[in-house]
Amino acid sequence: MQMIPGINIKEVLVTGGCGFIGSHFLSKSCNAFPDINFTNIDNLSYAASINTEKYLTQFKNYNFQKIDISDLVQIKEIFEQRKFDLVVHFAAESHVDNSINSPIEFINTNIVGTYNILQCISESVREGKDTLFHHISTDEVYGSLDLNEKSFSELSNFSPSSPYSASKASSDLIVEAWGKTFDIKYLITNCSNNFGPRQHTEKLIPKTVNNILNNKYIPVFGNGTNIRDWLYVEDHIDAILSLYKKNLFINERFNIGGGFEISNIEIINEIISILQEYYGQNDAEKLIKFVEDRKGHDFRYSIDNSKIRMATSWSPSKNFKEQLKNTINWYMLNENWWDQ
């Protein structure tokens, strides 16, 4: 079975594969394509777990190297060791609050890191290697929507609000420019808020679960009415693979959204309800604490995913509550996943 019809894919580089979304891509792809070699480079920052890397070693076609994408020398070395047919670029600093407190880390990883990889691919192209570059990005590059505004499409203007989203918008544009100037074949996908197992506990859903289990207050920015479009991580991976099956690496952008919009306070209350009903965690609503709103806090994200639906026939699952229950159950069984 070919990963991409008509293209001989033997070597795949995945950046940030010990992170949340990248690890799900690797576990599914290593299993589905046993004849392809997958190399994962990750700097194993706080948001990646050693347990995730250990989990991935079960696959015989998996190789890991601890590399920071902001180090051009290291990136050049890995490209000299292997000739990659496909690069899937998940590696990024992604937590908005951290980007407000320390923007330079986001500039170095999300912008300089992307540039470093593109430079190495450019060299490969000059040497006659036809490498495909898939840049994983976010809906946050489009900015914020009001309650009744139309969902973001691939033609929406960029209007980032935070250092994080600005760094991702910058990297998106760098990829497009390198495609036009240096003839790099690329694909850009902009996804909505992902959730599922192995997500770091700084994010809303795992943080809420973890704080309830440890009887800590649940911080809610502003009045909690900010709305996000939620996408189950396995649906996200299925969407990516659906693009590969259609061989859509033709300098295109696709938005990937779950089509399920819910406010922050509503999803917190849903988590509290599940923990009470299935795990006997009572009175957790007393832990909710409204705090000063985040600077530049976007009100609403909403993805129009009609382009990818029409191109591939992919569609997200419609069982958000069941997926949320499965996610919570994973955290109940793996409370110590990030204990190093």
| pLDDT recorded at residue 248 | 81
> CA-CA distance, 152 to 143, in Å (whole number)?
9
Residue 17 contacts residue 47 (beta carbons within 8 Å):
no
Question: Parallel, antiparallel, or unpaired for β 252-256 and 288-291?
Answer: unpaired
Catalytic (active-site) positions: 139-140, 164
| pLDDT recorded at residue 225 | 98
> CA-CA distance, 75 to 112, in Å (whole number)?
12
> CA-CA distance, 71 to 142, in Å (whole number)?
29
Backbone phi and psi for residue 92, each to the nearest 5 degrees, phi listed first = -170, 150
| pLDDT recorded at residue 47 | 86
Q: 28-41 pLDDT, tens per residue? A: 999 999 999 999 99
Segment 199-214 shows an average pLDDT of: 95
Question: Parallel, antiparallel, or unpaired for β 218-221 and 288-291?
Answer: parallel
| pLDDT recorded at residue 105 | 94
- Percentage of residues of the chain with pLDDT beyond 70: 99
Give every CB contact of residue 83 below 8 A, 6+ residues apart in sequence: 11, 124, 129
Q: What is the CATH number of domain 11-199+232-259+305-317?
A: 3.40.50.720
Q: 83-115 pLDDT, tens per residue? A: 999 999 999 998 898 889 999 999 999 999 999
First to last CA, the chain: 38
Q: In the chain, what are the domain boundaries? A: 11-199+232-259+305-317
Which residue has tokens 């544009």?
Answer: 173
> CA-CA distance, 60 to 132, in Å (whole number)?
23
Q: What is the mean pLDDT of the chain?
A: 95
Q: 215-242 pLDDT, tens per residue? A: 999 999 999 999 999 999 999 999 999 9
Sign of CA dihedral 22, 135, 262, 266: positive
Q: 282-330 pLDDT, tens per residue? A: 999 999 999 999 999 999 999 999 999 999 999 999 899 999 999 999 9
Segment 163-181 shows an average pLDDT of: 97
Q: How would residue 340 be classed by pLDDT, with cut points 50, 70 and 90?
A: low
> CA-CA distance, 75 to 69, in Å (whole number)?
6
| pLDDT recorded at residue 2 | 84
